[in-house]
Amino acid sequence: MASVALGLGSNIGDRVARCRQALRELSGVEAIRIVRHSSWYETRPVGHTGQPDFVNGAALLETMLAPLRLLETLKDVETRMGRSVTWDKGPREIDLDLLLYDDLVLGQPGLDIPHPAMAQRAFVLVPLAEIHPDLVHPEHGRTVSDLLDDLRPVDHLVRYHAAP
């Protein structure tokens, strides 16, 4: 089984409900087991700021799926949940990002592991540090907690719900 870190986000409709639904959808896939997930955080959009705030979280999974097959599964869940194409970094019903897959470093069309921008994104690192602060980024050789310390302060992140 591979260990996977996943980022979740939504800024359309009931954002928390959409993220929770995505976790339920993934838990229904036989080859995926959700180990734990973070609280939900309300975050400001990156890039196009003229859109609603996001709710973001992170989850740790175990899977028997190869990276490309896992990515296909994530995209299938997004499609079933009504993800529509807007513009790059635009509004999203649901967004599922494959952040880390074991200690794999992979770069190919359509899939980069680790996720290329995760080390610079507080909305990824804060929830991930909540559930696995000692997780090591395979390219930087540093923990999620250390990477987050580089970004502080992160006042623009607000804990949305105390309970996951």
Annotated active-site residue 69? The verdict is no
- Identified catalytic residue from 18, 20, 97, 121: 97
- Identified catalytic residue from 15, 18, 20, 92: 92
Annotated active-site residue 146? The verdict is no
- Identified catalytic residue from 88, 95, 103, 112: 95
Annotated active-site residue 33? The verdict is no
Task: Give the number of other CB atoms < 10 A from CB of residue 136.
Answer: 15
Tracing tokens 């980024």 back to the chain, one arrives at 137
Rounded-to-integer distance, Cα 78 and Cα 101, Å: 19
Burial class of residue 132, CB neighbours in 10 A (0-12, 13-18, 19+): buried
Annotated active-site residue 97? The verdict is yes
- Identified catalytic residue from 36, 83, 103, 142: 83
Question: Which of the residues are catalytic?
Answer: 83, 92, 95, 97
